[in-house]
Amino acid sequence: MTEMPSTPEGRKMSITLRRSGEAPRHSAVDMTTTLGSLTVPDPVFTASGCAASGQELAPFNDLTAIGGVVTKSIQLTARAGRATPRMAETPSGMLNSIGLQGPGVDVFIKRDLAWLEEHGVRAVVSIAGSTIEDYGKLAGKLRGKPLAMVEVNISCPNVEDRGQVFACDASAAAAVVAAVRRGTASGVPVFAKLSPDVTDLVSIATACVDAGASGLTLINTTLGMVIDTKTMRPALAGVTGGLSGPAIRPLALRCVWQVHQALPDIPIVGVGGIRTGLDALQFILAGASAVQVGTVIFHDPGAPARVSRELREALAARGMDRLEQAIGLGHRPPDMMVPEAPEPLGAELSPAEPESYPGYPPGYESGYDTSYEDEAMRLTEDA
């Protein structure tokens, strides 16, 4: 469980806020996070479909230092994917219509999973199928293989029949999760990756958890399209595609927030438009225990390592010693933000005195005194 300050017991909580400008204390922040039965030393993962199986990103990142690589969704047999064009750039994002191109699970295990194991990279294997049975078989094939977690992709928008998007229906989603859970070794967490393209995400999330999901990955892409005004036809061969990138970050964040609010004990992996450490921090504050970076990798292949570093710096700058302190912290009551006890009701308002102006020591009009800048401001709050 997370250090939720808003627990009913009214746990006492203290946050030490530091003023910016202080040297970041990277190494001091414990980035460990827990995803069901899996504990990892770093909360940043690559997002499925944005890192292939990791090899291609090795020149740009130390993949052993991040949480892990979430591999491109693998299926029972090889799949060629959709026709081209498969991609269209959109404002602060992109549409893709790849169609789950991949070599099939047997080749994947022999080639890609073996590579990840050999290089000491934690592997989260994303699986996709057309039927509930497919998912169960995939889990069976992966049983006993070197993987840290299974992510069940029930939300790829680029399948021929949108009716097959299991994540749009609570009972279908639950059936897939149950099949994977049954087929997967008990020590390996099973996360369900959900689609934002539903009316009531919490009900789908709840159904997945009830069916045995250890946690939830929120969110997959949202369905969109672009029409090329030169050809006056859809820009993608597949007509529609999944929208990703910073364009969908507010949508993804809202999903994480809502599901964490409804299911505060369920670990969430937040994904959608994360470009910087501060973006990642938003997801952590909304209730995510870990994050995935996806489309930003196409912009910056070194993004996984960079976002991890920036998140660490952002936590340090906020006086946090452990990542877990920040998980869900955005949900705390607003009064916990107030740095000083409010004026008692009815107290007479007195004009602000320059000597007590918060932020500057007596006699200073701006923060010249750097020793003061470094001073920590300690807050103690009762929830």
Which of 92, 171, 261, 370 lies at the binding interface for another protein (CB under 8 A)?
92
In this structure, are residues 377 and 17 in contact, taking their beta carbons and an 8 Å threshold? yes
Q: From CA 68, how far away is CA 291, in angstroms rounded?
A: 11
CA geometry: angle at 244 spanning 259 and 157, to 5°? 80
Instruction: Kindly state the smallest distance separating residue 308's Cβ from another protein, in Å.
Output: 16
Q: Would you tell me how many other CB atoms lie within 10 Å of the CB of residue 104?
A: 14
Nearer to another protein by Cβ, of 232 and 345: the residue is 232
Nearer to another protein by Cβ, of 96 and 289: the residue is 96
Name the packing angle between helices 132-142 and 170-183 (round to 10°): 20
Nearer to another protein by Cβ, of 103 and 146: the residue is 103
Binding mask 234-253 for another protein (x = CB under 8 A): ---x-------xx-------
193: contact with another protein by CB under 8 A? no
Instruction: Kindly state the smallest distance separating residue 8's Cβ from another protein, in Å.
Output: 41
Query: Given 156, 168, 208, 255, which residue is catalytic?
Result: 156
- Which positions from 218 through 237 interact with another protein, judged by CB under 8 A? 237
Torsion, CA 282, CA 285, CA 290, CA 296, rounded to 10: 0
Nearer to another protein by Cβ, of 72 and 309: the residue is 72
**Collapsing DSSP states into helix, strand and coil, what is residue 284?**
helix
Name the packing angle between helices 277-286 and 303-317 (round to 10°): 70
Q: Would you tell me how many other CB atoms lie within 10 Å of the CB of residue 236?
A: 24
28: contact with another protein by CB under 8 A? no
Rounded to 5 degrees, φ, ψ at 325 are -65, -25
Nearer to another protein by Cβ, of 78 and 185: the residue is 78
Which of 87, 109, 225, 336 lies at the binding interface for another protein (CB under 8 A)?
87
Name the packing angle between helices 201-210 and 170-183 (round to 10°): 30
Instruction: Kindly state the smallest distance separating residue 292's Cβ from another protein, in Å.
Output: 14
Binding mask 258-297 for another protein (x = CB under 8 A): -------------------------------------xxx
Nearer to another protein by Cβ, of 57 and 320: the residue is 57
Give the C-alpha distances (Å, rounded to integers) separating 15 from 95, 102, 287, 318, 338.
Answer: 41, 47, 18, 9, 12
> Contact region for another protein (CB under 8 A) — 197-205, 298-306, 314-322, 350-358?
298-306
Give the C-alpha distances (Å, rounded to integers) separating 146 from 78, 187, 288, 348.
Answer: 21, 12, 25, 67
Which of 6, 101, 240, 258 lies at the binding interface for another protein (CB under 8 A)?
101
In this structure, are residues 317 and 22 in contact, taking their beta carbons and an 8 Å threshold? yes
* Burial (CB count within 10 angstroms: exposed 0-12, middle 13-18, buried 19+), residue 360: middle
313: contact with another protein by CB under 8 A? no
Which of 59, 120, 351, 363 lies at the binding interface for another protein (CB under 8 A)?
59
157: contact with another protein by CB under 8 A? no
> Contact region for another protein (CB under 8 A) — 56-64, 254-262, 264-272, 339-347?
56-64
**Collapsing DSSP states into helix, strand and coil, what is residue 158?**
coil
Which of 23, 80, 345, 349 lies at the binding interface for another protein (CB under 8 A)?
80
Which of 15, 44, 70, 94 lies at the binding interface for another protein (CB under 8 A)?
94
Q: From CA 224, how far away is CA 220, in angstroms rounded?
A: 12
- Whether 156 sits among the annotated catalytic residues: the reply is yes
**Collapsing DSSP states into helix, strand and coil, what is residue 152?**
strand
Could you tell me how far CA 5 lies from the centroid of its own chain?
21
Which of 91, 358, 362, 363 lies at the binding interface for another protein (CB under 8 A)?
91
Catalytically active residues are: 156
| Residues found near another protein in the complex (CB under 8 A) | 49-52, 56-57, 59-60, 72, 77-87, 89, 91-94, 96, 98, 101-104, 237, 245-246, 295-302
